[in-house]
């Protein structure tokens, strides 16, 4: 911008005031009034120019914000404080098990597993063969594969030579008096000879007071169980005897294997 410097003479105060007074149309100005008017116009022009030339009293501040890296956003942590304890909307329903857990069965009570006999003679002392009917029988130790469990079982060999009613042979075993009243069954593992001979399991207070149950060896190899609760005339609280017999027909020689004679508890 061009800077202009003007030089003038200041008129008298009266002349300047005279220029501010409205002049009637057609009025004749005096030379001094004309001069004063010109000076007043020059003053206004000068003031206008100075106004344009006057530097701003305040420094010009750039309105644009300097570009600076934006600070990383401050994570906002919202802390929620419960003002009151939650109120349950209803009584919680307990989760019912979908099925009744299986009860742990009581272990069986082993009466005889044939593992403790170190000779056939000792085995024969514990299992007395009943030869009253004139037939023959023998017991001896036996191992795998004729074993239900462990390393030993008992082989019972027999020869049924007579016909009915004397076509049977078996062994008797005495026990210390035992209470079987809370047991449900007496079970005997037997490897059958595959015949249809009868199998008799008997037990009671003694050899002279017992109950017997008839089964058939045709049932095959496995557990032969006799219900104790169904027995009549036997005091289950004072059991002192059990015996196992084989009866014909047919007559002849054969062998069965016996292991794990045990009691099952009532469930």
Q: Which residues bind Ca ion (CB under 5 A)?
A: 113-114, 150, 259
Cβ 118 to Ca ion shortest distance, Å: 14
Cβ 161 to Ca ion shortest distance, Å: 30
What's phi and psi for 266, nearest 5 deg? -70, 135
Nearer to Ca ion, 152 or 231 (CB): 152
Structure tokens that stand for 91 in this block: 């009584």
Please check whether residue 173 is in contact with residue 126, taking contact to mean a CB–CB distance below 8 angstroms.
yes
Nearer to Ca ion, 167 or 259 (CB): 259
Please check whether residue 188 is in contact with residue 245, taking contact to mean a CB–CB distance below 8 angstroms.
no
Angle formed at CA 236 by CA 233 and CA 242, multiple of 5 degrees: 85
Show the DSSP H helices in the chain as ranges.
13-20, 31-53, 120-126
Nearer to Ca ion, 29 or 151 (CB): 151
Q: CA 90, CA 194: separation in Å to the nearest integer?
A: 67
Q: What is the DSSP letter of 44?
A: H
Cβ 257 to Ca ion shortest distance, Å: 10
If you count them, how many residues does the chain have?
267
Nearer to Ca ion, 30 or 119 (CB): 119
Instruction: Name the residue whose CB lies closest to Ca ion.
Output: 150
Cβ 174 to Ca ion shortest distance, Å: 20
Cβ 178 to Ca ion shortest distance, Å: 20
Nearer to Ca ion, 44 or 151 (CB): 151
Q: CA 166, CA 175: separation in Å to the nearest integer?
A: 26
């Amino acid at each position: 911008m061009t800077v202009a410097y003007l030089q003038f003479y200041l008129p008298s105060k009266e002349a300047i005031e005279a220029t501010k007074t409205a002049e009637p149309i057609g009025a004749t100005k005096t030379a001094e009034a004309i001069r004063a008017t010109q000076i007043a116009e020059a003053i206004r022009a000068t003031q206008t120019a100075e106004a344009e030339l006057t530097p701003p009293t305040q420094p010009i501040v750039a309105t644009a914000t300097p570009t600076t890296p934006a600070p990383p956003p401050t994570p906002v942590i919202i802390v929620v404080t419960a003002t009151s304890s939650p109120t349950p909307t209803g009584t919680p329903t307990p989760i019912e098990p979908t099925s009744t857990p299986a009860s742990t069965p009581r272990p069986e009570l082993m009466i005889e597993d044939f593992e403790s006999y170190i000779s056939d003679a000792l085995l024969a002392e514990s299992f007395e063969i009943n030869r009253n009917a004139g037939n023959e029988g023998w017991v001896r130790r036996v191992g795998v594969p004729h074993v239900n469990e462990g390393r030993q079982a008992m082989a019972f060999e027999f020869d049924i030579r007579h016909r009915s009613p004397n076509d049977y042979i078996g062994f008797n075993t005495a026990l210390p008096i035992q209470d079987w009243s809370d047991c449900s069954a007496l079970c005997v593992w037997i490897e059958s000879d595959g015949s249809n001979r009868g199998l008799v399991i008997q037990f009671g207070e003694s050899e002279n007071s017992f109950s017997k149950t008839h089964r058939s060896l045709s049932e095959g190899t496995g557990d032969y169980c006799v219900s104790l609760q169904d027995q009549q005339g036997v005091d289950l609280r004072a059991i002192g005897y059990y015996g196992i017999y084989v009866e014909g027909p047919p007559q002849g020689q054969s062998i069965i294997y016996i292991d794990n004679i045990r009691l099952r508890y009532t469930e």
